[in-house]
Amino acid sequence: MDTSNFSELWKGQKAEQPAAADLLIKINKFKKRNRLRIVLTNLTLIITSVLMILIWYFYQPELVTTKIGIVLVILAMGIFVYSLNQSLGALKDTNAASSNQEYLKNLLTIKEKQHYMQTTMLNLYFILLSLGIALYMIEPVSQMSFVWAVFAYGMTALWLLFNWFYIRPRQMKNQQAKLNEMITTVENIQSQLKQD
């Protein structure tokens, strides 16, 4: 087969072209959805923080531990939303128009960073949250009878331990497995770009 025929054959493949207007509608939908997602995640943070501040304001905690607890929980929320926004932001391509070679290099860097961020951020989130809750509880628990105090702390500790030893590793394993696979594939494609 003459290789110039390949080009003719290649161009023989025709495809339906959606009207430009339809595509623009899609683009707008896409934009709206993206905006909604960002608004929603940030709203979660704001609502939680406002709630905590309201507690602070109306409940007037006396112990400093309660206040520290509130701050830590808000911080944990903040970290959670921040890392969520980060991973959403990574989807936006700033280097969409660079060469394949550079693009893959960049993609790999982003993925490796995500790998690190996920682990660190998730750990930090859980630690701050646990610490915050434990501190926050000191004040209300101190007004309970001993049995109830033990019960309240026991249940909370149980829930936190369950999170730390079951939910956290599971979440991490899931994320990491996906990322690792992705990284291997990108590395594999990159090896095709070695000059030979």
Partner 1 sequence: MKFEDIYQEYWQKIFRLCMGYVNDYALAQDLAQETFIIVWQQLPNFRNEANISTWVFRIASNNCLRQIEKQKRFQKVEMPQQLMEENTESIEPKIQFLYKCISELNEIDRIIISLELENIKQSEIATIVGLSEANIRVKIHRIKEKLTQKFKENGHK
Q: What residues numbered 5-24 form the site for partner 1, per CB under 8 A?
A: 6-7, 9-18, 20, 23-24
* Minimum CB distance to partner 1, residue 101 (Å): 3
CB atoms inside a 10 Å sphere around CB 130: 20
CB 85 within 8 A of CB 41: yes
> Which stretch of DSSP H or E encloses residue 153?
helix 146-162
Q: Using the rule CB under 8 A, is 60 a contact of partner 1?
A: no
Please list, in sequence order, all residues whose beta carbon lies within 8 angstroms of the beta carbon of residue 128, skipping any fewer than 6 positions away. Answer: 72, 73, 75, 76, 79
Q: How far is the CB of 2 from partner 1 (least distance, A)?
A: 9
Q: Of 79 and 111, which has the nearer Cβ to partner 1?
A: 111
Dist. CA 76–CA 125, nearest whole Å: 5
In the complex with partner 1, the residue whose CB is nearer, 3 or 145, is 3
Please answer whether residues 156 and 134 qualify as being in contact, where contact means their C-beta atoms are separated by less than 8 angstroms.
yes
* Torsional sign, CA 152, 156, 159, 161: negative
Task: Count interface residues toward partner 1 (CB under 8 A).
Answer: 39
Q: Which is nearer to partner 1, 84 or 138 (CB)?
A: 84
Question: CA–CA distance from 66 to each of 32, 57, 73, 81 (Å)?
Answer: 40, 12, 11, 23
The answer to whether residues 160 and 133 touch, using CB atoms and an 8 Å cutoff, is yes
Nearest-approach distance from CB 131 to partner 1, in angstroms: 35
93-112 footprint of partner 1 as x/- string (CB under 8 A):
x--xxxxxxxxx--x-----
Interface residues for partner 1 in 147-186 (CB under 8 A)?
A: 182, 185-186
Q: Is 187 in the site for partner 1 (CB under 8 A)?
A: no
Nearer to partner 1, 18 or 154 (CB): 18
Which residues bind to partner 1, rule: CB under 8 A?
A: 1, 3, 6-7, 9-18, 20, 23-24, 26-27, 30, 93, 96-104, 107, 182, 185-186, 189, 192-193, 195-196
